[in-house]
Chain A
C-alpha cells in the first residue's frame, strides 16, 4: 500500500532522513521506534507532505505522493488520518466542530458530518464532551478528540506521531487503550511513531527501528525485541528486561 524509497531530508546541515525506505501493506500496523531526533516524526510527516522531503520517492496506493498537485494532495490528506503529538485541535471550536469541520469543508452535508463526528467521538469515549471547548479537557481527552478527528473520515492510512509523548504518564493509558481498541477493531493501515515499548509489542505487526535517519532493523516484535541485531534493538531489549 505504502512504498517509501530512499527518502532524504535535511534541516540545514543536520540530516533528518538519510535514505529512509519502508514498505507497508494494507491493514498492517507498523510501529516506528528509535531515539529522539532519529527522524521518526519527519518520516511520517513526509508521507502526507506536512514536511517536504528533499529527495526520494513515496507511493501510496500506486500514486506518487511527492508529485501530486495541491488539489490531489488535499484529496490524499483526507484519506490519511494524522494524530499529532500536540493534539493540534482548533482551540476556538468545540470538540464536535473540531471533529466534523473538515468533513463539512470537504463538502459533506453538515448533518451527516455531525452524525459521523458523534460516532467517532463515541468510539474514543468522548461523546459526553462534544460541546466543550478543547481548553476544558485534559491532555488525554484532547488527544482522544484528535484521534476521533483523524478517524471520522474513515482514512485508509492512519499516521500517529508520538500521540502520548505530550501526556502525563497517568493519562497515557487512556489514549493507549483507545489506540489498541482501534487497531483491534479496524482494518485501517497504521503507521505509529511511539516510545511505548509495551504498546508496540502488543499492537505492532512489525517494528521498525530507526537511527540517524535510516532504518537499522525491522521485523515482528518478538524478533526485534528478543533477538535484536542492532544496537538500538539491544537497548530496547535491555529496557524490556529491566
Chain B
C-alpha cells in the first residue's frame, strides 16, 4: 500500500493533512468563537459591562414597577448617579440591576446592603455582582472576622465584606485578580475544619468530645492552634428541623393510644400490617366482612415474637376509660376483613392524662376549701381548750372548798348527828358529779389525770397546725389551677387517626432524609490532616466506633458571576469546537480521504487478486484510515482548544480512529472510483501520483483534496 505513495503522492497527502488540520482548526475554533462572542455580547447586554452594576435585586414580577420607583428614590436620595436597569424576568421574578456610583463603592455601603434595600417592594433577595471581585463561598463563622481582616490587607484589595455565608473581596483592578486569588487560596488553605459527626441517637457531650479530640490532636500534631468552633449558626436549620420532627414523632407516639397485640400461635405479624378491631363501635369484625364505621384499624409498628405494638391509623377510642381488649383481624387490601390474629389491647393514654388533670384540678379546689375548714376547726378547738382549762381550774377550786367543808364537818364531833351525815354525803356526791361532768365520767384518779393534762402542749400543736394551714392558704392555688387548665387546653386536640396519619407523614419525610446526629467542629490551623488516618484514632480515643471524621475548608474561592458565566461560555465554546472538529473531520474523511481509500483498496485488490478472509481483516488500509482519522481529529481538537466533557485526547483519538476505519470500510459508497479509467492510466504508463491527480481526484467529490489538486492538475 505504501508503494502507492512513493512516487510523489505522499507529498500531496501531507499537504492535504496539513491543510485539513489548518482549515479544521479555523472552522471549528472560528465557529465556536462566533458562538462564544455572540453569547458573550448577549450577556454583556443582559448584565452590563464589567463593573457597571453591583447588585441584582430579585423582585416579584407584580411589584416590579413599585420596586423600580423605590430604587429610583434610593438612587436620587442616597446614591446620586447610581445606575438602574431592568433585565430578564424569569418564573415570575424580575431582576433589576443597581450600580453604585464609584464614590459610594465602599465597605460601609456593601456591608449595609440589607438596610439599603429592605424597603424595596416585592424584594425576594439580592445577589452582589460588583466587579472586579473575588467571591469566597461558605466562609466559616469562626474565622470570618479574621479572614476579612487578612484579605483586606492583601495588596490589590480594596476591602472585603460579608454577604450572607459568603465573603466578597473587592479588587482595585481586574489585573490583580490572579495574584489576590492565589493569596486568598493560600490563606484559606491554612485552615481546616475537622468535623466529627455522630449518628442520630448518640447523645454525646460535645464539649467533652471536643476537649478530648483537641488533646489527641495536640499530642499528635504538636499544634496548639486547634479550637472548638462547633456552632449552631453554620447550616443547622435542616438539622434542627429534622430533630424537631423526630421529637414530635416521639411525642405523638407517647400521646397516641397504646396498642399491644398478642398473636395467636401460627400467626406471624409483620411491621406495616393492618389489623381491624371492633373499637368503640357496635359492629364486630368478621372474616370476609367489609370494614365498618366505628371499627378501628391498627398498623403494626414493631414485632417481637408473638407480641407486637402498633398505632391506630383509622377510627378512635377517644371515650374509652378502661383498657380495651378485643379480637383483632387481619385487614386485607380492598377493605376486606381477614383471619383472626389474636387479642389486641388498647389503652387510651389521652383519656388517662385528661382524667388525671381533671382530678388534680378537683384536688386543688378541695384543698383550698379544706384549708379554710381546717382553719375554722383549729380556732374552735382552741376555744374549747380555753373553756376546758377554765372549767378545770374551777373544779380544782371547788374540790378544795369541798375538801375543806368535808373536813369542817368531820371536826364538828358528831353533835349534829343526822344533819352532819347528810351534808357529808351531799358534798361527796357533788364532787363526784363535778368530776364526772368535767372528764366524761372519771374517778378521782381521772380527775387527777385531768389535772395532769398538758394543755399548753396541745395549744402549741394547734398553733403549729394553724401556721401550716396559713401557709397552705398562702399558696396561689388559683394560679396553679389556671396553669393546669392552660396545659390541659394546650394539649393537641388530636384523635388517634389524626395522630397515626401525622406519624406516618413524619416517617415518610424522615425516610428520605439523613437525620443528623451530634456534631463537633474543630478549627485546625497550619496543619495538614489525613482524615482517613485520623478517623480510627479518634474512634479509638473516644471509644465510639460510629464517630465519622470529615475535613472541610473554611471557604472556597469562586469566580464572580460574570467570570462564572464566561467560564460556562468558554466550556460551551470548547464543546462546540470539539463537536465541530468531529463534524469537520467526518466531512473531510468522506469528501477527500474516501477517494484515496477507495483507490488504495482497488489497487490492492487488483494487484494480487481476491484475498482470504484473514487478509481482508488485516487490511493495512483500515489501519491507515484509522491513523488518518486519529491524526486529523486529535490535531484539530487540540489546536482549536476544544474540550468535550468526559473526553480526553485519548478518547478523541479513538473516535477519530473509528471514524477513519469506518470511512475505509464504506469508502466506495462515499466515493466510487472509475476503475476502468484508472486501469487505462496504468496501461498508458502513468505513475500513481499522475493517476491520482489526473484521473481519480478530478472526478472525486468536491473538497479540499479536489481544490488542492487543481494546482497540480494538467488536464
Contact = CB atoms under 8 A, between A and B. Distances in A.
Nearest to B675: A88
Given A70-B3, A90-B695, A77 B684 contact: yes
A74 B609 contact: no
Interface string A81-107: 010101111111100010001101110
A122 interface: no
Contacts of B676: 84, 86-88
List 4 A-B pairs, minimum CB-CB distance, nearest first: A78-B685, A88-B680, A77-B685, A102-B684
Given A74-B685, A74-B686, A104 B680 contact: no
B683 A77 contact: yes
Interface in B666-704: 674, 676-677, 679-687, 690, 694-695, 698-699
Interface string A155-185: 0000000000000000000000000000000
A229 B564 CA distance: 95
Given A10-B609, A70-B7, A77 B682 contact: yes
A52 interface: yes
A90 B686 contact: no
Contacts of A76: 685
A84 B680 contact: yes
B220 interface: no
B714 A105 contact: yes
A137 to B, nearest CB: 15
Contact of A102 (B7, B610, B685): B685
A11 B610 contact: yes
A231 interface: no
Contacts of B690: 105
A52 B3 CA distance: 15
Contact of A70 (B6, B674, B677, B698): B6
Given A78-B684, A149-B684, A104 B610 contact: no
7 contacts: A70-B6, A75-B685, A88-B677, A89-B680, A102-B684, A105-B714, A153-B684
Given A11-B610, A12-B610, A88-B676, A93 B715 contact: yes
B607 interface: yes
Contacts of A52: 607-609
A88 B695 contact: no
Given A50-B683, A88-B679, 17 more contacts: A9-B609, A48-B683, A50-B679, A52-B607, A52-B608, A70-B7, A70-B687, A74-B686, A76-B685, A77-B685, A82-B684, A90-B694, A90-B715, A102-B686, A105-B714, A106-B685, A149-B684
Contacts of B674: 91
Contact of B715 (A75, A78, A101): A101
A79 to B, nearest CB: 8
Interface string B594-622: 00000000000011111000000000000
A166 to B, nearest CB: 11
Nearest to B691: A105
Given A88-B677, A91-B674, A11 B609 contact: yes
Nearest to B607: A52
Contacts of A106: 685
Interface string A45-88: 00010111000000000000000001100111110101010111
B694 A101 contact: yes
A105 B683 contact: no
A102 B609 CA distance: 26
Contacts of B606: 50-51
A82 B683 contact: yes
Q: Which of B674, B685, B699 has the most CB of A within 10 A?
A: B685
Contacts of A97: 715
A105 B679 contact: no
Nearest to A42: B609
A218 B182 CA distance: 95
A62 to B, nearest CB: 20
A18 to B, nearest CB: 15
B714 A104 contact: yes
B418 to A, nearest CB: 183
Contacts of A71: 7
B675 to A, nearest CB: 9
Contacts of A87: 676
Contacts of A9: 609
Interface string B5-45: 01100000000000000000000000000000000000000
A86 B677 CA distance: 10
A2 B531 CA distance: 89
A97 B714 CA distance: 10
A164 B695 CA distance: 25
B690 to A, nearest CB: 5
Nearest to B690: A105
Contacts of A10: 609
Contacts of B695: 90
Contacts of A48: 683
A80 B7 CA distance: 21
